[in-house]
Amino acid sequence: MGAPIVSFEGVKKAFGPKVVYSDLSLDVYPGETLVVMGGSGVGKSVMLKMLIRLLDVDGGSIRFHGKEVGGMNDAELRGLRRQIAMLFQAGALFDSLSVGENVAYALYEHHRADMSRRDIEERVRWALALVDLPGVEAMMPADLSGGMKKRVGLARAIALRPELVLYDEPTTGLDPINTTRVNHMIVGLKRALNVTSIVVTHDMGSAFAVADRMAMVYRGRIVKVGTPEEFRAAGESNVADFITGHAPEHEDVETLLRG
């Protein structure tokens, strides 16, 4: 598989008395779509925010192309955020900006010196076309459906032409048709742009639809990593019960995962 593009090693994170991660260790390899799954509140979104230094770790190491994220200076951190784009759970659009201005926002922030206004406008059109929303630049976020907001957020992420895209619960709140559309876009953008992707979700249908590999978070660490086929191979075992939501609540997850 070659060298990992991202490595979490022994990462620790807590908010007051609540321990989110006690020993998070996970590698992400170039070109793959890695799905990180687990129940609500286990820290999946925290993992993504630590990677781009929206949150600092309490211990351990996160490396991007071998460079320690926690040791990056401001210039290096700006460079990291040009290479890693994030689609936030709610889309995180600026209500006062048009769709076009939202998609262009990061381009002006990171590429003002090397892209003309016309270049930026062309990149915005390109990104919106890739998410099947051509010609909507003048619309406002208040005029968009939930599915459209997610797709505009995705257009803003890919407009930077990043090396790595982070998806934070990309199908939450969407109806089945839009869920399927977003899943297809994640797979299609990986093929079209050759990007690496980390998708965090508790939606097992989406997880199996987009994943090359899957990792399960429980009690502050990764308790299982494997391909979708390896997860499915459990058949009627406790692993299958867990990932389909049929596991008895009183059982210990680590026991379930061992089958």
SS3 labels along 9-51 = EEEEEEECCEEEEEEEEEEECCCCEEEEECCCCCCHHHHHHHH
Domains of the chain: 6-43+54-226 (3.40.50.300)
Instruction: Identify the band that residue 122 occupies on the pLDDT scale cut at 50, 70 and 90.
Output: very high
Report the share of the chain in percent with pLDDT over 70.
89
What is the predicted pLDDT for the residue at 203? 87
φ/ψ (deg, to 5) at 161: 50, 60
What angle do the packed helices 117-130 and 146-158 form, to 10 degrees? Answer: 130
What is the predicted pLDDT for the residue at 90? 65
Please say whether the beta carbons of 153 and 170 come within 8 A: no
φ/ψ (deg, to 5) at 71: -95, 5
Please say whether the beta carbons of 129 and 209 come within 8 A: no
Count CA atoms closer than 13 A to 179's CA, side-chain side: 16
Please say whether the beta carbons of 217 and 223 come within 8 A: yes
Distance from chain centroid for Cα 144: 22
What is the predicted pLDDT for the residue at 238? 39
Instruction: Identify the band that residue 236 occupies on the pLDDT scale cut at 50, 70 and 90.
Output: very low
The count of other CB atoms within 10 Å of the CB of residue 33 is 21
What is the predicted pLDDT for the residue at 256? 37
Cβ neighbours of residue 101 closer than 8 Å, sequence gap 6 or more = 94
> Residue type for 244, please?
T
DSSP 5: S
What is the predicted pLDDT for the residue at 210? 96
Q: pLDDT digits over 77-109, tens only?
A: 999 998 999 998 766 789 999 999 999 998 888
Q: E-assigned strands of 109-212?
A: 164-168, 196-201
Average pLDDT over residues 132-153: 92
Answer whether 0.75 is exceeded by the pTM: yes
Average pLDDT over residues 111-138: 92
Radius of gyration of the chain from Cα atoms? Answer: 19
Average pLDDT over residues 2-12: 95
Token pair for 129: 């076309």
What is the predicted pLDDT for the residue at 159? 93
Residue scoring higher pLDDT (246 or 48): 48
d(C-alpha 61, C-alpha 63), whole Å: 6
φ/ψ (deg, to 5) at 195: -90, 155
Residues in the chain: 259
With 50 as the cut, is the pLDDT of residue 257 above it?
Answer: no
